[in-house]
């Protein structure tokens, strides 16, 4: 007859477990991105202090340090809000994963070089060390889970619609 049977259509529906994992993960990441952005906003911390933290990673020229110090809090704010809203989740989660991968990679590189610096993740005064590496590595893993989950949910929705 060409009609999809009920059990076959059900197998393509997003699983409740996957929906919950993605929902909880994106909400948690959204709040964390908002908290990180809040601590770096110009009214909370002068951009020059955050720029000094960025410069301590010894990676960017002055203009790059200045650009990141002024732009990163707003990027984190946008990612946090968009994760909480949940629209265009595949794109937003992918961006969050890339940002977390860059952060984590820079932290691992800096720690491996033996530089004793503040990580800058949640404002001034947090030393880069094993605990901050575990935390950011866990956040990277969570971002990847949300990203993969968002793609799986979309794939299942497309399959169930066809």
Whether 147 maps to a domain, the answer reads: yes
Whether 11 maps to a domain, the answer reads: no
Whether 51 maps to a domain, the answer reads: yes
Nearest Cα neighbor of 17 from 153, 151, 142 is 153
Positions of the chain with pLDDT lower than 50, given as ranges: 1-2, 4-11
**What does the pLDDT read at residue 95?**
98
Whether 99 maps to a domain, the answer reads: yes
**What does the pLDDT read at residue 50?**
87
Instruction: State which residues form the domain around 90.
Output: 16-156
**What does the pLDDT read at residue 14?**
61
Tokens of 11: 């197998």
Whether 26 maps to a domain, the answer reads: yes
**What does the pLDDT read at residue 13?**
53
Whether 3 maps to a domain, the answer reads: no
How many helices (H) and strands (E) the chain has is answered by 6, 0
What is the domain count for the chain? 1
Q: Are 5 and 160 in contact (CB under 8 A)?
A: no
Q: How many CB atoms lie within 10 A of CB 88?
A: 12
**What does the pLDDT read at residue 1?**
47
**What does the pLDDT read at residue 61?**
95
**What does the pLDDT read at residue 7?**
46
Whether 10 maps to a domain, the answer reads: no
């Amino acid at each position: 007859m060409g009609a999809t049977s009920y059990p076959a259509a059900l197998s393509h529906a997003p699983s409740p477990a996957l929906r919950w994992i993605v929902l909880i993960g994106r909400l948690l990441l959204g709040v964390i991105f908002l908290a990180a952005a809040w601590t770096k906003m110009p009214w909370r911390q002068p951009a020059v202090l955050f720029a000094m933290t960025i410069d301590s990673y010894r990676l960017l020229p002055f203009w790059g340090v200045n650009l990141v110090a002024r732009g990163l809090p707003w990027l984190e704010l946008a990612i946090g809000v968009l994760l909480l809203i949940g629209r265009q989740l595949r794109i937003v989660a992918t961006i969050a994963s890339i940002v977390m991968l860059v952060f984590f990679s820079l932290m691992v590189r800096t720690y491996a070089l033996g530089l004793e610096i503040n990580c800058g993740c949640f404002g001034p005064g947090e030393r880069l060390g094993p605990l901050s590496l575990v935390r950011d590595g866990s956040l990277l893993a969570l971002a990847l889970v949300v990203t993969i989950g968002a793609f799986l949910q979309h794939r299942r929705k497309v399959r169930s619609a066809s």
